[in-house]
Amino acid sequence: MPDKEDVAVAEVVEETAVATVDAGLLERLASNPDVDVDKLERMVALMETQQDREAERLFNVAFVQMQPELPAVERKGRGQHQNEYAFFEDIQKEITPVLQRHGFALSFRPEPTGNEVMVTAILLHEAGHSREASFVGPADKGQGMNEIQGRASTQSYGMRYATRAVLNLRTKGEDDDGNSAGAPEPPDGYEDWLMDMEVLAEEGTKRLHETWKVSDPEFRRHLTTHNPAGWNAIKDAARKVGA
């Protein structure tokens, strides 16, 4: 004889969309031949939605708690356009213990996209929710690099860029106050913008100047005032590509 209690519970859950659907209850109902299959499927979907929402909530809580602990990694490297950057190895070394303390793990998904390289950083929380940030750029055409080396260089660059984006990570100069040689700390978002400008240089002068004209005036002022050599190097790289 059908378990009427289980059938009734299923109907109540379906009709009222209660906040919690118990996995054990679903198992009992699934074994009951008198439970409506469509209702059972909707209950499963409801439970999955609840689990996803809870996983996202736990992710957000952990991320907010972790954010103040994320370090500003020192910029020890110097790129071909004279801009300073933090080595990816230094970023990993600094952030990994913080990520682990709060239940996070970071992984990467590199994907070839024609003549470009796409790198996606995936920040996964132990509750199951994840967040992604991607970088797409042309293969590095630096002097003496073959195609494989150029793609590997862009992939490394993309991993650094995507890591900073997905974690909202900041970097700083080697000096304690960030005022190297009297230069003030760059405005928020400047370093990501500068990376974009470097990538755009590989697309020629027209593309570079179009983006320059619509860029944040603060970013442009900081670059031309405190790193004119870097800006000249970016423009020179664009000229070599052409219009």
Residue 124 has a pLDDT of 96
**199's tokens:** 């990538």
Helix then strand count (H, E) for the chain reads 9, 7
Residues above pLDDT 90, as percent of the chain? 16
Q: Which tens digits make up the pLDDT trace of 154-212?
A: 888 888 888 888 888 776 544 333 334 445 677 877 877 887 787 777 778 888 888 89
**126's tokens:** 């132990």
Residue 81 has a pLDDT of 42
Model confidence at 59: pLDDT above 90: yes
Which of 213-230 are b and which e, b meaning 16 or more Cβ less than 10 Å from the residue's Cβ?
eeeeeebbebbeeebeeb
Q: Which tens digits make up the pLDDT trace of 208-241?
A: 888 898 999 888 888 888 777 778 778 877 787 7
**20's tokens:** 């919690």
Beta bridge partners of 108: 121
Residue 104 has a pLDDT of 96
